Amino acid sequence: MLRSGSTFALRHRLWRLTRPEKSIDDDDIRKAVKERADLIAFRALLMRADTMGEAKRIMAWANVHGIDVGTVGDCRRYFHRHDLKVKDSVPRLAKTKLLSVAVYYLLAVVTLISADLALQSRVLLSFKDDHTMFYLSTKSAQLFREQGNIAVLVPADCPKTNGWAGFNSVHTAVICLAFKSAGLPEQIDDGLRAQRWLGMSILICALLGFFKWSRRVLAVRSAHFVRVWLAQQHDAAAADA
């Protein structure tokens, strides 16, 4: 439906499911439904077209120039389907590739952070005074920047008042009070539930961002390919003339 810009595919499927043995008797109506189904297939699988006549016009143009219609469709908004030409607003391919390195790196970092939040068995918190971030569970506390190290604060360390595992004395006292709280397990469970929802939401957004940017890169690459191919054909025709 998103690709074709129409609910026809859903309506057609529901019609076939609810009336599996009833066909359309009228020849004109059956032909109109078939033509609509073909147009929706062209939109969903190849590229956008408003009418079947436009779809056939695009296919004829692509065949004349020896270009796959799907490649033309991959150009997306960089191809003018009415004028049948690549637009002048196509970004430079080298710049797009260079920018992709930064975008994919950022998306990878966001994905790792969100996956860590979603899979953690400890709640990520921060102190109000200096916003130092740390992980807390019913059995341990660990500074966020110390992940991977063995330096953790456990309830047995609470008699130590001079700080422990990287925490200062004030933070150690606060965490020790938390360890003694009877409602800590329930609060940890509530925090983990919210944290996992947050992590999954960020992860989904990162994946959608990856998909959208990848489509943009594909569109730029396809537009450059079509433009170069048409230029080569024009040069070859000029040389033959």
| DSSP symbols for 171-232 | HHHHHHHHHH-TTHHHHHHHHHHHHHHHHHHHHHHHHHHHHHHHHHHHHHHHHHHHHHHHHH
Measured CA to CA, the distance from residue 97 to residue 107 in angstroms comes to 15
Structure tokens at 178: 């938390």
pLDDT at 180: 84
pLDDT in tens for each of the 241 residues of the chain?
A: 888 788 888 888 888 888 777 777 888 888 898 899 999 999 999 999 999 999 999 999 999 999 999 999 999 999 999 999 999 889 998 999 999 999 999 999 998 888 888 887 888 888 887 888 888 888 888 887 765 566 778 887 776 667 667 777 788 888 888 888 888 888 888 888 888 888 889 889 989 999 999 999 999 999 999 999 988 887 777 777 6
pTM over 0.75: no
**Share above pLDDT 70 across residues of the chain, in percent, rounded to a whole number:** 94
Query: Which among 220, 210, 219, 214 is positioned nearest to 92, based on CA atoms?
Result: 220
pLDDT at 121: 80
pLDDT at 146: 60
pLDDT at 150: 65
Measured CA to CA, the distance from residue 138 to residue 143 in angstroms comes to 15
